[in-house]
Amino acid sequence: MQTSEFLFPSDLNVTPVDFRKVLFIGSCLSEAYCKRFGTEFPGAAFDFILFNNAAELPEKSAEDLKQYSFQYVQLPLRSILSDGIVRIADPTDHDWLRHGQQIIDMMLEKALAYNAQTGLLTIVSNFIVPQGVGAAGLAHLNEPDDITYVVRELNRYLTDKVKAYSNAFVADVDMIANSIGKMHFLDDILYFYTHGSVVYPDWAGHERMPHWTAPEPGRMDPLPDIEEMYPNRSEEFFRAVFRQIEAIYRTAHQMDMVKLVIFDLDNTMWRGQLVEHYQPDRRKPYADGWPMGVWEAVHHLKRRGIMVSIASKNDEELVKAGWANAVDTGFLKYEDFIVPKVNWLPKVENIRETMQQLSLTPKSVVFVDDNPVERDSVLSQIPGIRVIGSNPFLTRRTLLWAPETNIVKLSKESAGRENMLKAQVEREVAKSKMTRQEFLAGLNTQLDIWTVSDTDHSSFGRAYELVNKTNQFNTTGVRWSFEDFKSFFGEGGKVFSFSVKDKFTEYGTVGLVFVKGAEIQQYVMSCRVLGMEIENTVLATVIDFIMSQTGATKITAQFRETEANTPCRKMYPDFGFEPTDGGYVFSSGLEGGKTTHVTVNMLGAS
C-alpha cells in the first residue's frame, strides 16, 4: 500500500476533485512539487512563485486570484533559521527558536497576502524535522541548540500562527515523512540540516565522472548507486504530499462528508457472534487489536459530530444483556449509539428508518458490515450509501483518516447534534399522540434570526458548514467556498441565520437565507425542524425586512431543482410566489407566513 493511500484513504471518496489552477509559493522544493503535480492532476494548470525571504508577492487582482483553486505555501526552513545555524559550534548565546519565530511572523504575513486579500484557500506546509542526533550530547536533548527540538517547536508555532488566518490550514508534511521513513528521501543524510529537500537517486552518477576530472573518474574508490545505501522513495513522498493536499481540499470544501456511520455488531464490533461465542461456559474470543481500535474510533467519530448507530440482526434484549461480556473493558456502551436497530428485520429497512428518523440522505451515511451479502443488499437497495467492512484491518483507518470523516472545526451545533436528535425522536413520538394543531401549540417554539455580513462573524463557521452539508431543504444546491462568501459579503450580500428551540431541546443554528438587494439567492434549512412551520415564518420575516430596508415591492427568489431537494420545492409557490425564469417572484401580502405558535426574535439585523 502506498503511503498516500495509507494516510489518506480514498474508500469514501465519491466526487472527484476538479482543480482548475493551483499556485505554489516556496523554495525549489515547491518548484519540484509544481512540476510533479501535473502527473497526479493532469487537468490542472500551475503557477510557481519562488519565495526564499519576506519579499512582497507579485500584485494580483481579485479576479486573478479567483482562478486558483487554492495556494500551497512552503516556507523554506533554510530561510527561517538562516545559514548561520550551520556554524552552530561557534561560541554564541543566539536563541535559534526565537529567531525562527520572528522570521515565521515576517514571511507568513507576506506569503499569505493573497489569502488576506480574497480569502483564497491556503495550505501551509510545516517543516520536516531533521533526522538523527541534532543535540550536542545525550544530556542535551531538547535544549535550545538541539536543532530537532527547535524545528519541532517551530512547527507548533507555525500551526498557531496559521490559525489566525481565515481559510488557511497546515499540511503536516512531517507526518508523511515519518510514515515513509525519512531515511528514504530526506537529504539531511548528506546535506546540511535545514536544506530540507529530497535525495535524488542519480546523485552518485554525478560524482563518478564529474566535469572537473573528465575523462578520468572523480573518485579513487568505486561509488555505488545511492539507492544501494538509501533505498529511494522520493516519488512516494511527492505522491503522498499531493494526496494530502487533495484530502485537505476535500475536507475544507466538505466534499462527500459523512454524517452517520451505522455498524453491524457480530464480527464488526467484536470477534465472533455475541449470543454464540460469549457464553459463561465457553472461552470467548479475545478483544485485542482491531475490536478495541473500532471501539475507540466510535468515540473519535462522535467527537467530530458524526453520529453512530447500529443495524444488527439479533435479539435486542440478548445483546443488551451480553454487551459487557463482549466489551468487558467499558470502552463502549450500547447507549453510545443513537436510535440503534437490533431486531430480525432486513437491515435495509432498519437503515432506511434510521435515516428517516435523523433526517439524513443516503449520501451522508456509511454502513459497516462484515457480511458481503448484507453489504451488497444495502448498496443495491439504498443508492448513494457507502459500505465498508470486508477487512477488519482497514475499517478503523478508513473511518478515522478519510477526509470525508474529518472536519474543519467543530461547531456547537455539531457537538450537540446527538443529544438534539434524541430529543427530536422524543418530539416525534409526542407528535404522534395528538393533533397537529395541539402539537404545534404546545411546543413553545422560539425562533432567533440575525444577519451575518462578514467572515469574521462568530457564527460564520456554522453558516459555512450548514450550506455545504444541507442537501434536502436547499433551494439551489449550490455549495459555497470561503472565497464565495467573501465576494458575496463584499458586494453587499447578507446571510440571515436562524436558530430554533422548543420545549424538547435547542436545535442550534438550523438555517440560512442568502439575500442580496431584493433577491433571495438561496435558502437552506436543516430537516430536523421540518414540520414546525419554521420555514414560512423565517421567509415572512426576511421578506418584511427586505421590503422595509430597500423599499422593494417585488422580491425575487432563485430556485433550482436538484435530485434531493424535494422538501423545499413547494415552499415558494405555497407562500404566494409566482414562477419566473430561474426562480420565483413575490409581490403579494405576507399572510401566508404568519404563525401564532412561533415567537420570533430579531437579533441585531441591519
**Domain residue ranges in the chain:** 3-183+233-252, 260-405, 415-602
Residues of the chain with pLDDT under 50: none
Alpha-carbon distances, residue 302 vs 214, 268, 307, 526, 527 (angstroms): 66, 18, 6, 19, 20
| Residue 547 to residue 550: CA distance in whole angstroms | 5
pLDDT of residue 581: 85
pLDDT of residue 329: 86
Assess whether the region 3-183+233-252 and the region 260-405 belong to the same CATH fold.
yes
The alpha carbon torsion through 37, 41, 46, 50 (nearest 10 deg) reads -20
pTM of the model: 0.84
The pLDDT value recorded for residue 606 is 52
Superfamily per CATH, domain 415-602: Gcn5-related N-acetyltransferase (GNAT) (3.40.630.30)
The alpha carbon torsion through 55, 60, 64, 67 (nearest 10 deg) reads 10
pLDDT at 17: 92
| pLDDT on residue 590 | 58
Q: Hey, what's the cell of 127?
A: 517543516
What is the topology classification, in CATH, of domain 260-405? Rossmann fold (3.40.50)
* pLDDT score, position 296: 97
pLDDT of residue 605: 58
pLDDT score, position 40: 81
Measured between alpha carbons, how far is 381 from 398 in angstroms, rounded to an integer?
23
Rounded-to-10 torsion of CA 576, 579, 581, 586: -20
Q: Which CATH architecture has domain 3-183+233-252?
A: 3-Layer(aba) Sandwich (3.40)
